[in-house]
Copies of this chain bind each other. A is one copy, B any other.
Amino acid sequence: MTDSKIAHRAQKIESERERTERRGIYRDKRLERERDVLHGEWNSLNRISLSNGTLPAAGSSSGSGPGVSLDSSINLDQGDPALFEEYWRKAGERFNVAIGGGELMSYFSNLNSMCWFLLPELDVSVRRLHRLIGNAATEGRHVVVGTGSTQLLQAVLYALSSGDSPDQEPLSVVCAAPYYSCYPEVTGILRSGLYKWEGDARSFDKDGPYIELVTSPNNPDGSIRGPVVNRGDGKVVYDLAYYWPQYTAITHQADHDIMLFTFSKSTGHAGSRIGWAILKDREVARKMIKFMEVTSIGVSKEAQFRASKILGAICDGYESLSPEVLPESFFEYSKRLMIKRWGKLEEAVKLGGGIFSLPKFSREYCLFSTEFTETRPAFAWLKCKEELKDAEGLLRAHKVLARGGSKFGVDPTFVRVSMLSREDVFDAFLERLSAIKGGITSNGSHA
């Protein structure tokens, strides 16, 4: 044997010894692993109840288990759409998906489309749904899918601000207050040289090009909105996440250059992280696709596949293409739920004797449901009496966690509360809200 062969064999023997040792460790680890798996399954079983407001906040580990107990906080800070879950649990097999181990494996979805990562089935379902609801024009438009409308917003900012000149000033991004609290965060997180958050559109007075975000119905206050800056050198991005019949009247077919929608708010499937943009301009679409390609090489196909199936099956139901028609279609069901919740909330606020007030919404004719209807937003935008000062603190003192006005660019007498929580959480919220009466101390806390 040569020296090098001997060295190799010695190395091999040593390696095998190590491996045998590792196998021993494996056996010890198996118990640990099985414990891990059981722990995982426990978490999984408790997932829904854990995630719907019985714990103080996402990421906290200070509580566990389902149910709303008297001393636990109710989390209505995020807008997790739990109230739609029951419908989907009972909705039947048409909405289920099955994916084989060898399916949906490629990066690519459709090489015949500029948006090469968009599943053709999802493109079809999105267009069908908008035609059915009548809330947005899709004919001749580009559809671009994103990891939630959050990623699409960044893609839009990139598309509108990335010019040829490397030393251009960052483009101003504005939105009329109260604005969605995530806009400043998303715009500012990487300190981009392409664009910059400039706050409330109403006080925006810089010259030159800008981007105005218009959310309608608005998050947090549910108001129906249009642009407020209205200058020729501005681009308007319409975030229409809540322009669906369960939240507001579909008064017209929206037909803007740039419109964003999301699976999270249309059907309540927030965990899928699927959003879509409807775009008139090919160049804007191309740049958005480029952004998605560079930052995430497309969008999860499993999520796209499931969204296409669910949106498609909703359309089938309405169009009676499917033999199995539910007693109640999703948008009727969810609208009925929202009406019921808003009725209860308005009652509770009225009984509160003026401590809190709610925005007023006008009645409009809904082309989809063919009846007059009020906006019933996904969030309640509560305002407390001026002298109470801190609406978020007031709720927190009653173990209700919600998001204060300052995060939305307005004063802290406002607070945003999710209307989409699980039923028992919503009822507990109403109970706690009703308990806020009299005995208010001068600093706004409740004695």
List residues of chain A with CB under 8 Å of any chain B CB.
8, 11-12, 15-16, 18-19, 22, 26, 29-30, 33, 36-37, 39-41, 43-44, 47-48, 50-52, 55, 58-61, 63-64, 78, 80-82, 84-92, 94-102, 104-114, 116, 119-121, 123-124, 127-128, 131, 134, 147-148, 150-151, 154, 158, 166, 182, 185-186, 189-194, 264, 268-274, 289, 291, 294-303, 305-306, 310, 319, 365, 367, 370, 372
Known: A102-B91, A271-B106. A59 touches B114 (CB 8 A): yes
Known: A105-B88, A111-B51, A116-B59. A189 touches B158 (CB 8 A): yes
Residues on B with beta carbons closer than 8 Å to the beta carbon of A120: 39-40, 43-44
Q: Known contacts A50-B110, A81-B105; can you find 10 more A-B pairs with CB under 8 A?
A: A11-B365, A47-B106, A47-B110, A59-B113, A96-B98, A104-B272, A105-B268, A106-B271, A107-B270, A148-B297
Contact status A85-B105, CB under 8 Å: yes
Contact status A148-B296, CB under 8 Å: yes
Residues on B with beta carbons closer than 8 Å to the beta carbon of A51: 106-109, 111
- Across the interface, A33 reaches (CB within 8 A) one of B33, B114, B124, namely B124
Contact status B112-A15, CB under 8 Å: no
Known: A101-B91, A101-B96. A16 touches B370 (CB 8 A): yes
Residues on B with beta carbons closer than 8 Å to the beta carbon of A36: 124, 127-128
Can you list 9 residue pairs at the A/B interface with Cβ under 8 Å? A58-B108, A61-B112, A89-B100, A91-B101, A105-B268, A185-B294, A186-B294, A191-B194, A271-B300
Whose C-beta in chain B lies nearest to the C-beta of A170?
B191
Known: A51-B111, A194-B191, A297-B150. A102 touches B89 (CB 8 A): yes
Contact status B84-A105, CB under 8 Å: yes
Known: A91-B102, A124-B40, A191-B192. A12 touches B295 (CB 8 A): no
Cβ distance A306 to chain B, nearest Cβ, rounded Å: 5
Known: A105-B88, A298-B273. A111 touches B50 (CB 8 A): yes
A200 to B85 CA separation, bound complex (whole angstroms): 51
Contact status B372-A8, CB under 8 Å: yes
Residues on B with beta carbons closer than 8 Å to the beta carbon of A33: 124, 128, 131
